[in-house]
Amino acid sequence: MVENGEQAAQASAPPRPATVQQPLGAARGPAYPPAEQLSSLNYCIHSNPTWAQTALLAFQHYIVMLGSVVMIASILVPRMGGDSGDKARVIQALLFMSGINTLFQALLGSRLPTVMGPSFAYILAVLSIINDFRDEDFSSEHQRFLHTMRAIQGSLIISSFVNILLGFSRAWGEFTKFLTPLIVVPYVCLVGLGLFGRGFPQLATCVELGLPMLVFLVVLQQYLKHLHPTAHPILERFALLVCIALVWAFAAILTAAGAYNNVGDATKRSCRTDQSFLMSSAPWIKIPYPFQWGTPIFRASHVFGMMGAALVTTVESTGTFIAASRFAGATPPPAHVLSRSIGLQGVSQLLDGIFGSIVGTNASVENVGLLALTSVGSRRVVQISTIFMFFFSIFGKFGAFFASIPLPIFAAIYCVLYGLVASVGITFIQFTNMNSMRNIYVMGLSLFLGISIQQYFVANTNGGNGRGPVHTGGGWFDDIFNTIFASAPMVAVIVGTVLDNTLNAHHASAERGIPWWGPFQKKNGDGRNEEFYSYPLRINEWVPRRFI
C-alpha cells in the first residue's frame, strides 16, 4: 500500500500538545490563595507603635467604648428613677469595671487586644427587673433607683457563675471544638451585623451630626490619606479623633446658637451637647467601691433572666475574640484559651455586681473594629487604654466632659466599625469549599435565620418593660428565651452547629475546613499558639496546667 503525500506529512508531524483546561476565570486575573494572616496590618499583637502613638491610640479606644457606656446608662437609669447625678455615678462604675475587666483579659484571659465593656445583652433582663418594681411604693424616685440597683447587683452576682462554671470547667472550650470555619463565617459576621440597630437608626435621630461624621470619617480616613505619604499613617490611625473633634465642635456651636431651643425632647436628647447635665452633676473625684448602692437583693425570678444574658455574652464574646485574633495577626484562639477567657469573664461579671455596675460585661465589638480601622492590633495599646478608663472614672468632671459627645456621633462610628467586624467573618470562607451545595445550605440558613429571628424578637419586644414575644406567664422562662433569641450570633451558632455537625458531616470534613481549623484548637496543635496566648512573666508557675 502506497502512502500519498498528505498522509506522509501527517505521519511525520509531531503530536499536538494536550490542551490543559484552566480553571474558569484563571486567564482573566490572578487567583489569591488562602492567607492565615491579613497582609495590611501595620502592628500585630506583639509589635508596638511608639509610646506617643500608643497613648493616642489608647485614648481612641477609650473614646470608642465610651459610646456604649453612655448609651446603656441613658437607656436604663431614667427608667429606674435615677437623676443626672445617679447617671454620672453609673457611668463612672461602668468605666471603672471596664478598665479592670480589660486588664484581666489582656493579661490572664484571651491575651488578645480586646476591650471589655458593658453588654447590651443584659438590657432585657434589667428592664424586667425595673418593671417588677414599677408598682411598688417608694419614698422617692431616688429610693426606687437604689432598690432597683441592689436587685440588679444580686442578679449579676449569682448569674456570673454561669460563665465561671462554663469557663473553668472547660465545658465551653469543648463546645467550641464543634465550630468550623463554615460556622465561624455566619457567626462572626452576625457579631457585627446583629448590632445594626445601634448604627444608622441611632444616627438618624440627629442626622445633621451623624451623617457628616460618617462622611468625614470615610473621606478623611480612606481617601485623603493617599494625598501625601506623610499624611497616610497619621490619617489612617487618628482620623477618628479628628472627625469627632470637628463634629463635636459643630454640635456645640449649634447648641450655643440656639438651634435646638424649639425642637422636640427627643431631638434635644440626641443633638444637644448639654442635654445630659453630666458636667454639673458628676463629682470631681469619686472612686467606685464595693456595694456602693447598698446590700444586694437576691430574687430567683431576676436571676434566671440574667443567666440567659450571661449565656449570650459567652457566645458573643467568643465571636468577638475570633475576630480580634484575625485583626491582631494571631492564630484563632484555642479551646483552652476560650475556656479561661469566658471563666474570667464570669469573674468580671461577679465584680460588676459587687462594684455596682448596671449590666454585665462582654468583649467590645466596636473596639475590635477599631483594630481594623487603624491597622494596629497591638496588645499594649489596649492595655494602656485602661489607664484612661480608670482616670476618667475616678475624676468624674473630666469623664463627663467626653460623655457629652452626642450619641449620633458614636452611631456614625459604629456604622464603619461594625461593618469591619462583619466583613472579617466572611474572610474565613477561604478555608472552606464554597462550591459545595451542602456548605452553601448550612451557611445560608445560619445567616438568614440569625438575622430574621433576631429581627422578629427585637421588633416584638416592648422597649418600656422588656417583654418579648415569648410570654408564657413564667417571667423567668420568658426572659431567658427572649434574651437568647434576640441575639443574632447566638441564633447563628445554634443553627450552624446543629446543621454542620449532623448534615453528612463525616464525609465533608475537608470541605468544612477542619484540616486547617483543627490544629489551632489544640494546645500544641500549632507552634504559634504558645507565642500568642501564653501568660506573661512567670504566671505559668501559679496557674493550673489545664488553663495554660
Distance CA 81, CA 474 (A): 26
Phi/psi at 59 (nearest 5 deg)? -65, -35
3-state secondary structure of 118: strand
Contacts of 186 (CB under 8 A, 6+ apart): 425, 443, 446, 447, 450, 492, 496
Q: From CA 135, how far away is CA 297, in angstroms rounded?
A: 18
Packed helices 407-426 and 51-76: angle between N→C axes, nearest 10 degrees: 110
User: What is the pLDDT averaged over residues 305-333?
Assistant: 95
Kindly calculate the radius of gyration of the chain based on its CA atoms and give it in whole angstroms.
26
DSSP, collapsed to helix, strand or coil, labels residue 543 as coil
DSSP letter at 369 equals H
pLDDT digits (tens, 9 = 90+) for 51-103: 999 999 999 999 999 999 999 999 999 999 998 889 999 999 999 999 999 99
CA distance 427 to 38: 10
Task: Measure Cα distances from 429 to 138, 338, 373, 526 in Å.
Answer: 56, 22, 21, 21
164 close to 341: Cβ distance less than 8 angstroms: no
Dump pLDDT digits (tens) for 37-55: 888 889 999 999 999 999 9
- pLDDT tens digits for range 406-450: 999 999 999 999 999 999 999 999 999 999 999 999 999 999 999
Which residues does 123 contact at the CB level (< 8 Å), separation at least 6? 72, 75, 76, 359, 466
What would you measure as the largest C-alpha separation in the chain, in angstroms? 122
pLDDT in tens, 182-239: 999 999 999 999 999 899 999 999 999 999 999 999 999 999 988 888 888 899 999 9
**How far, CA to CA in Å, does 362 sit from each of 38, 184, 309, 311?**
25, 18, 10, 11
In this structure, are residues 451 and 190 in contact, taking their beta carbons and an 8 Å threshold? yes
Sign of the C-alpha dihedral computed for residues 111, 112, 118 and 124 taken in this order: negative
Average pLDDT of the residues in 331-358: 95
Residues in the chain: 548
Cell, residue 58? 489608647
Strands 116-118 vs 361-363: parallel, antiparallel or unpaired: antiparallel
Report whether pLDDT(180) > 70: yes
